[in-house]
Amino acid sequence: MAMVGAQDRFTLTARYGVLIAFSAFCLFPFLWMLDTAFKPIDEVLSTTPSFLIRHPTLVNFATVLLHSPFLIYLRNSIIVSGFSTLVTMVSSTFCAYVLSRWPRQSPVRVVAGALLASQMIPGVLLLVPLYMTMRDLGLLSTYLSLIIVYCTFMVPLAVFMLRSFFDALPVELEEAAELDGCSRPAFLIRILLPLSVPGLLATGLFGFVTAWNEFMFGYVLINDDAHRTLTPGIMLFRGAHSTDWGSLMAASVLTILPVAVSFLYLQRFLSGGLSVGAVKG
């Protein structure tokens, strides 16, 4: 017994060691970004850097907010992510309901298969034709081009997430509503959607964050500052202010903020729903 106890203690110590090392590895770059954002320029450009900030300052945030196009980028990102989430949610909800209610019908299976396949098709392979299409339609450097294109990866994601939430509701609910003379659209609006609010919110937030984080299409399809979104925007910051790491980190922190807030809500789905849905394949 004593042997087993010693072995357990050894295993436990090893686990703590591994976990502490992993946490440090994961946290350090994130904390260093936060740290730099609050440092004055002479401490950012110090040859003996440390986590300790002698004179904490908000000057980097002021620079970003007042003397850069950051707020314009922010507005553009909100518009693009907001509208693409809206379009995605409206079209995906109906589709997900059908996928959940009639999973064995062959037309439904075709759509589900196509969605799965389109989830596998990488954006960079669609980049050139989508760029050409937007160019031919005269939509380059417009919000509309990004809103449309973001649907390519947001819709499959949203449909599969919503379907798993709808699957969790008992089918008897719909049968009872049908017996009481409730039509399908009325059932959807008056029963299914109100019952799925947490799922709708999670899906919407996840879609919003995905659009918010997207870089490549925003970088390629938008060519003027007035319509540029945040992720390509802050990358271009780096070229414009190549030495001002403090401001760049402040801009990064501000960019992450809405993502972080969203995940405070989303984390309850992370261990269960999201990963299961992602791993199902």
Partner 1 sequence: MGAVQSIARGQGIAQRAKTALAKTPRRRRRLPLIAWVFLVPVALLLLALVAYPLLNVVWESVHYVNLTNPTATGFSGFDNFETVFEDDNLLPALWNTVLWTVFSVGGEYVLGLASALALVGPIRGGAIFRACIIIPWLIPIVVAGLDWSWILAPDYGVLNLWLVHIGLLAHPVDWLGQLNTALPTVTLANVWRTFPFYTISFLAALQAVPPELHEAAALDGAPAWKRFWHISLPHLRPVTLTLVTLHVIWTAVNFDFIWVMTEGGPLNASTTLPILIYRYALQNFDVGAACALAGMMMSAMATMFFLYRYGFMGLVRARVRRLNAGDA
Restricted to residues 37-76, the positions that interact with partner 1 (CB under 8 A) are 44-49
Residue with Cβ nearer partner 1 (180 or 242):
242
Stretch that binds partner 1, among 139-147, 164-172, 197-205, 268-276 (CB under 8 A): 268-276
Selected binder of partner 1 within 58, 62, 225, 275 (CB under 8 A): 275
Does residue number 177 form part of the binding site for partner 1 (CB under 8 A)?
Answer: no
Q: Name the minimum Å distance from CB 116 to partner 1.
A: 10
Contacts of 143 (CB under 8 A, 6+ apart): 76, 79, 80, 83, 227
Q: For partner 1, what does the binding mask look like between residues 238 and 257, x meaning CB under 8 A?
A: x------x--xx--x--xx-
Question: 171, exposed or middle or buried, with CB in 10 Å at 0-12, 13-18, 19+?
Answer: exposed
CA distance 161 to 104: 18
Q: Name the minimum Å distance from CB 179 to partner 1.
A: 15
Residue with Cβ nearer partner 1 (176 or 235):
235
Site residues for partner 1, 6-35, by CB under 8 A, read 11-12, 14-16, 18-19, 22-23, 25-27, 29-30, 32-33
Q: How far is CA 91 from the centre of its chain?
A: 19
Site residues for partner 1, 78-137, by CB under 8 A, read 90-92, 94-95, 97-98, 101-102, 105, 107-108, 111, 114-115, 118, 120-133
Contact 199, 80 (CB under 8 A): no
**DSSP for 79-123?**
HHHHHHHHHHHHHHHHHHHHHHH-TTSHHHHHHHHHHHHHHHS-H
Stretch that binds partner 1, among 78-86, 164-172, 199-207, 209-217 (CB under 8 A): 209-217
Q: Name the minimum Å distance from CB 114 to partner 1.
A: 5
Interior angle at CA 199, CA 196 and CA 205, nearest 5: 135
**DSSP for 252-269?**
HHHHHHHHHHHHHHHHHH
Question: 88, exposed or middle or buried, with CB in 10 Å at 0-12, 13-18, 19+?
Answer: buried
Residue with Cβ nearer partner 1 (145 or 227):
145
CA distance 136 to 146: 15
Stretch that binds partner 1, among 63-71, 170-178, 194-202, 233-241 (CB under 8 A): 233-241
Selected binder of partner 1 within 235, 240, 265, 268 (CB under 8 A): 235
**DSSP for 211-225?**
HHH--HHHHHH--ST
